[in-house]
């Protein structure tokens, strides 16, 4: 049995879903994959730091037209 998620997690999922829906509308594409990644970058002092990154892959929707 799954443990219920905290309210903050449920609210965050709704916000992410809204962003993805807007992305699909604007790009006329379907979100295919979402990946969370750790990326190594350098800070202002030149020291390495690990940042979180999101990679979203979309696939274009086929354009459909009514036949005349």
pLDDT digits (tens, 9 = 90+) for 17-60: 999 999 999 999 999 999 999 999 999 999 999 999 999 999 99
66 assigned to some structural domain: no
Name the residue among 15, 17, 14 with its Cα closest to residue 25: 17
Give the C-alpha separation, 66 to 6, whole Å.
Answer: 46
Residue span of the structural domain in which 22 resides: 7-59
- Strand pairing report for 48-60 and 29-42: antiparallel
The average pLDDT across 4-26 equals 93
pTM reported for the whole predicted model: 0.69
1 assigned to some structural domain: no
Asked if pLDDT for residue 66 goes beyond 90, the answer is no
Q: Give me the number of domains the chain comprises.
A: 1
41 assigned to some structural domain: yes
pLDDT of residue 68: 80
Query: Is 38:53 a contact under the CB 8 Å cutoff?
Result: yes
pLDDT of residue 15: 96
34 assigned to some structural domain: yes
């Amino acid at each position: 049995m799954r443990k219920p998620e905290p309210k903050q997690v449920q609210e965050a999922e709704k916000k992410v879903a809204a962003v993805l829906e807007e992305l699909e509308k604007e790009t006329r594409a379907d979100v295919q994959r979402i990946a969370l990644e750790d990326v190594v970058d350098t800070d202002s002092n030149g020291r390495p730091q690990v940042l979180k990154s999101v990679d979203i892959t979309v696939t274009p929707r086929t354009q459909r037209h009514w036949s005349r």
